[in-house]
Structure 1
Amino acid sequence: MKITVIGGTGLVGSQLVSALRALGHEVVPASPSTGVDLLTGAGLDEALAGADTVVNVSNSPTFDEASLEFFRATMNNLLAAGERAGVGHQVILSIVGVDQVPQLDYYRAKTLQEEILKQGPTPYSIVRATQFFEFMDAVLSWTADENTVRLPSTPVQPMAAADVVAALAAAATGAPLGGAVDVAGPDVFALDELGRLTLSARQDPRTVVTDEQAGLFAAVEGDVLTGGPGARLAPTSYKDWLGAKR
């Protein structure tokens, strides 16, 4: 099978390219560094030539309102190029609970991406993942100073990027779902407690202060960022991942 990975040189995309090649597939990584511009469509026809499946793990450069136009333009461009190339399966990476947080611009943008894909001409699959372990540093940095990190107690169920890659590889090599599958880590944490666990493991002396108004995830109500009863649980625990990083 020939598979094009859009965003194939990033954190998830590069691992996905390697995983699919290890399974014996012909894989084309596509990104700005390989001459592909999703916003203009430049290079897409060449990158998709002969592809059976396209996996889109590209991301907006911002999390604000501009992300809406990014995902609108790029999804439309990719679907049009895929139709010209005769692609039989379009796969995107999305977020668990994405359609339940309309107060966040980025989540509305990802929901728009999903809707455009659903209404497009090509059979599709959506892999919705929870937050990545690898993004915890960014989450901590949003509301940190020299002595404290302020975090809300929002429930989260994070997972390793490598486990996201495994879910994407399974979707890419399987039949189109015509819907979404949720994947999540094995454990649910309050975000403030996850922050404390992270700092302790790294022997970081800063204190986590619970602040329900702090950071991006303060706007999220309830447990919408957790996998729920229908999610497929990934094998890697956060504590094991932290230990391996040490």
Structure 2
Amino acid sequence: MRITVIGGTGLIGTRVVRILNDRGHDVVAAARATGVNSFTGEGLADALDGASVVVDVSNSSYTDGAGAQEFFYTSTLNLLAYGQAAGVAHHVALSVVGTDRLARAQGGYFVAKEQQESLITASGRPFTLVHATQFFEFIRSITDHAMREGAAHIADVLAQPMAADDVARAVVEAALAEPLFGTGEFGGPEVFSLKELASLDLRSRQDDREVVADPLGTYFGAHLGARDLLPEATATLAPTRYHDWRVQAPGAA
């Protein structure tokens, strides 16, 4: 099967491409680095030519609301339009557990993700949305982003993160299955406080700065309830535990 992976050179995309190649599929890794730009449309027609499935694991370089909304809106419309012209039979997009909750919490980036999902859902095209919890690989950037006056002021919420490898496997399984015309939800096997994860990250770096659970702290601009980042009880749980991931990838960031 010919499968085009948008964002195919990124954190998740490289893993998706590798898994699909290992399974014998004809894979196009589409990204700006390979001459394909879903935002401008450059190279998109050629990248989608003959594809049965398009997998969108691209991400905006902007975390502010306006920049992210412009990126996801334009890119998603392009993918849907070019995909329909190319006869793509299944549109798979990676998104975030609790997108609707995060959007209501005034997180501008998550408003953009919710709009992306709405465009796909309303398109009339066969689709599957893959909702994943936060990645282990992003915990470091969350911690660093929260640093103020020598301490990490972390939102006082729970998280159920998962390894990027497990996210990629979930995306691959969705791409190879029939379209859900809906959402599949995935999370990690363990629940932590975000403060605990930040502390574990700093200790792994031999960094003794303090971590504070801040009731006024935000998560990429969103003011969250304690359980807003957690998946539903019906979610599929990934196998990789945080400690095992850390041992396997001690230098991960």
Pick the TM interval, shorter chain.
Answer: over 0.9
Aligned to 2:6: 6
Larger CA deviation: 73-82 vs 139-148: 139-148
- Any idea what SS the aligned residue of 1:47 has? helix
Deviation for aligned residue 1:104: 0.4
Q: Give, in whole Å, the separation in 2 of the partners of 1:6 and 1:47.
A: 9
Deviation for aligned residue 1:111: 0.6
Counterpart of 2:123, as a letter, is G
Asked if 1:222 corresponds to 2:220, the answer is no
Aligned to 2:70: 69
Which consecutive residues of structure 2, in runs of 5 or more, have no partner in the other structure? none
Alignment of 1:113-192 (within 5 A): 113-145=116-148, 147-192=150-195
Number of aligned residue pairs = 246
Larger CA deviation: 26-35 vs 203-212: 203-212
Deviation for aligned residue 1:31: 0.5
Deviation for aligned residue 1:84: 0.6
Q: Give, in whole Å, the separation in 2 of the partners of 1:215 and 1:238.
A: 23
Aligned to 2:240: 236
Aligned to 2:34: 34
Which consecutive residues of structure 1, in runs of 5 or more, have no partner in the other structure? none
Q: Give, in whole Å, the separation in 1 of the partners of 2:84 and 2:72.
A: 18
Q: Give, in whole Å, the separation in 2 of the partners of 1:157 and 1:220.
A: 15
Q: Could you list the per-position Cα deviations for residues 13-58 of structure 1 after superposition, in whole angstroms to 9, with x for gaps in the alignment?
A: 0111000010110000001111111112111100000000000001
The answer on whether the counterparts of 1:142 and 1:215 sit within 8 Å (CA) in structure 2 is no
Deviation for aligned residue 1:215: 4.0
Counterpart of 2:44, as a letter, is L
Deviation for aligned residue 1:146: 7.2
Deviation for aligned residue 1:156: 0.7
Counterpart of 1:190, as a letter, is S
CA-based RMSD = 1.3
Deviation for aligned residue 1:165: 0.3
Deviation for aligned residue 1:224: 1.9
Counterpart of 1:171, as a letter, is A
Q: Give, in whole Å, the separation in 1 of the partners of 2:123 and 2:70.
A: 17
Counterpart of 2:110, as a letter, is Y
Q: Could you list the per-position Cα deviations for residues 194-236 of structure 1 after superposition, in whole angstroms to 9, with x for gaps in the alignment?
A: 1112222333211212212234266111312111201100000
Q: Give, in whole Å, the separation in 2 of the partners of 1:37 and 1:201.
A: 37
The answer on whether the counterparts of 2:4 and 2:28 sit within 8 Å (CA) in structure 1 is yes
Percent same amino acid at aligned positions?
45
Q: Give, in whole Å, the separation in 2 of the partners of 1:202 and 1:71.
A: 34
- Any idea what SS the aligned residue of 1:210 has? strand
Distance 1:147 1:64, change over 3 A: closer
The answer on whether the counterparts of 2:218 and 2:224 sit within 8 Å (CA) in structure 1 is no
Asked if 1:51 corresponds to 2:83, the answer is no
Counterpart of 1:199, as a letter, is L
Larger CA deviation: 23-32 vs 60-69: 60-69
- Any idea what SS the aligned residue of 1:128 has? strand
